[in-house]
């Protein structure tokens, strides 16, 4: 699976047309970039996509997180809306309580910088966890070891939580993360383009098309 990490509707629509995007992840920082009312842009994303749309809860305490999660679910009332909840201690408790109250709502544990957080979020019932790859690396944390450790623990303990890694600055990080055991990733639109539009590939395609046009012209001349 592959998720898109943006709230830009134009980018989302273009990526959706590829048929390979399973959903969209958002957060307040991403939403702020679009300078559009929160509720409006989430509704626009839901209309533009067919997959899961993750919406981040606001609040630091368990009570605040649960209250905001309830507002989110009541506002959008769409089965594709999923919750992003920070995986600190209050967030872990919120994940547990929300999964008990809303067992069919997908929950993603976020703001993760350590294997321990991944374990606790899984034990609380999170469907996904989002380790922050580039941010970990910027803080001298071995992000790929976190992925490998987490995947081994999940497999050994038969935990059903999926690793949905986030925070990427280049395509190499994406491939390395998946090779270490992440189930999926959420990436910016720019990196989706970079994964496909390799300079050498584009050059080869251009040459193929040039040669094909030459063949057509020569064929016309021989008729």
Which positions are catalytic?
84
Going by C-alpha positions, the residue among 189, 108, 122 that lies closest to residue 150 is 122
Residue 41, H or E segment: helix 38-48
CA dihedral 176, 179, 183, 186 (to 10 degrees): 20
CA distance 213 to 133: 45
Buried (b) or exposed (e) across 13-25, using 16+ Cβ within 10 A? ebbbeeeebebbb
| DSSP state, residue 37 | -
CB 98 within 8 A of CB 109: no
Q: 10 φ, ψ to 5°?
A: -60, -45
């Amino acid at each position: 699976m592959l998720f898109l990490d943006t709230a830009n509707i134009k980018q989302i629509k273009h990526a959706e047309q590829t048929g390979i995007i399973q959903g969209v992840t958002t957060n307040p920082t991403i939403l702020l970039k679009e300078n559009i009312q929160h509720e409006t842009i989430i509704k626009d994303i839901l209309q533009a996509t067919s997959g899961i749309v993750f919406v981040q809860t606001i609040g630091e305490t368990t009570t605040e997180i649960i209250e905001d999660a309830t507002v989110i679910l009541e506002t959008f009332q769409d089965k594709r809306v999923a919750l992003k909840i920070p995986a600190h201690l209050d967030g872990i408790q919120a994940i547990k309580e929300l999964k008990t109250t809303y067992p069919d709502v997908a929950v993603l544990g976020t703001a993760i910088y350590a294997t321990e957080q991944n374990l606790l979020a899984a034990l609380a019932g999170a469907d996904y966890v989002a380790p922050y790859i580039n941010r970990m690396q910027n803080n001298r944390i071995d992000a790929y070891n976190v992925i490998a450790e987490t995947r081994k623990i999940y497999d050994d303990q038969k935990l059903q939580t999926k690793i949905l890694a986030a925070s990427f600055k280049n395509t190499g990080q994406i491939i390395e993360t998946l090779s270490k055991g992440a189930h999926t990733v959420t990436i910016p639109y720019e990196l989706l383009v970079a994964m496909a539009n390799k300079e050498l590939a584009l050059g080869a395609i251009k040459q193929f098309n040039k040669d094909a046009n030459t063949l057509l012209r020569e064929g016309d001349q021989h008729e």
